[in-house]
Structure 1
Amino acid sequence: MQISGNTIFIPGSTSGIGLALAIELQARGNTVIVGGRRAELLERIAAEHPGIDTVQIDTTYPAGIEAAAKEVLAKHPDLNVLVTMAGIMRVEDWHQPESFLASAESVITSNLLGPIRLIAAFIRHLRAQPDATIITVSSGLAFTPLKITPSYNAAKAAIHMLSESIRLQLADTSVKIVELVPPSVRTALLPGQEESEFAMPLDEFVAEVVALLEAQPDAKEIQVERVKFLRYGEARGDYDQVVATLNTSDPHGK
């Protein structure tokens, strides 16, 4: 993916990593469309960041995704980058089903079905572009589990394998698949995570991500240095130690 000259849709980007990335990518010479559920946040973003377009979308509802896709493509027929940013993280206790089932289902719907439905809504258009990119968003927790967020870990592991698989299928098209693999970042994904010393400062994370995208236009995964501890534990042979460290150091690992 080239770092400038794109038209980029980022659903789930009214705060946190998504919004910070949208702002930085616009500054790099891209047309950026931010998507989110809450109209008041979209209005504020449009007012505070002239040039960023907005569209209301709830990625947990298939009909909402289809409607938003039609709106985005009508206004931006040159769209060539989709970032499947939307997702939630929930703490779960699996000792009793009544304490985790509803949460687990919502996490899977948002973090796995949402990206699948988004890709389905845009893939025909993206395949028709001379150069297109889908950026999926997994996590260091796709590779090392945080015990308090089982469904989030599972959904992100699925996103990793989904990215690997559709990259193979779409190798005969103009669409590249890039997997963004965040570590814990100081956002509101979990209560207290914005103040966590364990988490990476948001501005540092986004700056490193954009620098990697610029330096590695053909990268399959975008990994900041902090995530490699989680990403490669099994390959290094210290997986058990990484799991133990993650689950005793801080409750806000992403």
Structure 2
Amino acid sequence: MKISGNTILVTGGTSGIGRALAEALHDRGNRVIVAGRRQSLLDDVVATRPGIASLLLDVDDPASIAKLGKQLRQRFPDLNVLIANAGISRAENIADDSWTAANAEAIVHTNILGVLRVAAAALPLIKHRPDAALLATSSALAFVPRADFPTYCASKAFLHSWLQSLRHQLRHYPVEVLELSPPYVQTELTGAAQAIDPRAMPLQEYLDQLLRKLQAGDAPRGELLLDQDLPRRWAERDESFNSIFSTMNPS
């Protein structure tokens, strides 16, 4: 993927990795459209980076997605890059008698159906554009899960598999399909504590490494995975899954 001269839509672009990536790509000479469901945060992004456009979007709402498709065709017909980044994460204790599927359903709606809906809205525009790319944010947890976030990890495993199929189906189109698989990063994905957790990678450090990989085209199999996470990526192949899983999920 080239990192300048694009028209880029970033969903979930008002905070965390999405916002940092949107601002960095804007600074590198791209026309960036940030989409999110909170107008106040959209306004803050636009105020911080004049020139970034914003769209109010709730990926859980089919009507909002339908409106997105019309807005893209009318206002941004030269769109050539989609970064489907919107996602949520919630811990779940399925063994607890009080557990319900409510959080799992919310995660599936946002992390899975939200990505599919946004892709359906944007692909007709981007798939014939030169230098087109579709990126979706998965996670290194797609390969070895944290058991206290079961549906979140499973949703990212779904995206990993789905993107492989999408990449194959689009092989005759000029669309690069890329999977962002960040490690544990200092954002507020799971709450305010994560943003200051010393065990998490600083957001700017992750962004710097990601942009270097994008610029260098360093995405084997279409996967933008940091070197530190390769042991998890190949845990099944290397027969190290059980030991890594036990380390991540001590009994």
Shorter-chain-normalised TM-score: which range? over 0.9
- Residue 208 of structure 2 is matched in structure 1 by 207
1:35: how far off? 0.6
Which amino acid letter does the alignment assign opposite residue 221 of structure 1?
A: E
User: For residues 85-131 of structure 1, what are the alpha-carbon distances to aligned partners after superposition, in whole Å with 9 as ceiling and x for unaligned?
Assistant: 00100000112575230000000010000001111111111123133
- Residue 225 of structure 1 is matched in structure 2 by 227
- Residue 64 of structure 1 is matched in structure 2 by 64
User: For residues 209-248 of structure 1, what are the alpha-carbon distances to aligned partners after superposition, in whole Å with 9 as ceiling and x for unaligned?
Assistant: 0110001166511112232232222232211111112224
Deviates more, 1:105-114 or 1:91-100: 91-100
| Cα distance in 1 between the residues matched to 2:172 and 2:242 | 39
What is the percentage of aligned positions where both structures have the same residue? 39
Structure 1 runs of 4+ off > 3 angstroms?
A: none
Which amino acid letter does the alignment assign opposite residue 245 of structure 2?
A: V
Which amino acid letter does the alignment assign opposite residue 14 of structure 2?
A: T
Structure 1 unaligned spans of 5+: 250-254
Matches within 5 A, 1:50-129: 50-96=50-96, 98-129=98-129
SS at match of 2:100: helix
Which amino acid letter does the alignment assign opposite residue 66 of structure 2?
A: E
- Residue 246 of structure 2 is matched in structure 1 by 244
- Residue 252 of structure 1 is matched in structure 2 by none
SS at match of 1:198: coil
Matches within 5 A, 1:117-196: 117-191=117-191, 192-196=193-197
| Number of aligned residues | 249
The TM-score with structure 2 as length reference comes to 0.94
Structure 2 unaligned spans of 5+: none
Contact residue 92 and residue 100 of structure 1 kept, 8 A: no
| Cα distance in 2 between the residues matched to 1:50 and 1:248 | 47
Contact residue 83 and residue 136 of structure 2 kept, 8 A: yes
| Cα distance in 2 between the residues matched to 1:98 and 1:79 | 46
Contact residue 135 and residue 178 of structure 2 kept, 8 A: yes
SS at match of 1:136: strand
The TM-score with structure 1 as length reference comes to 0.93
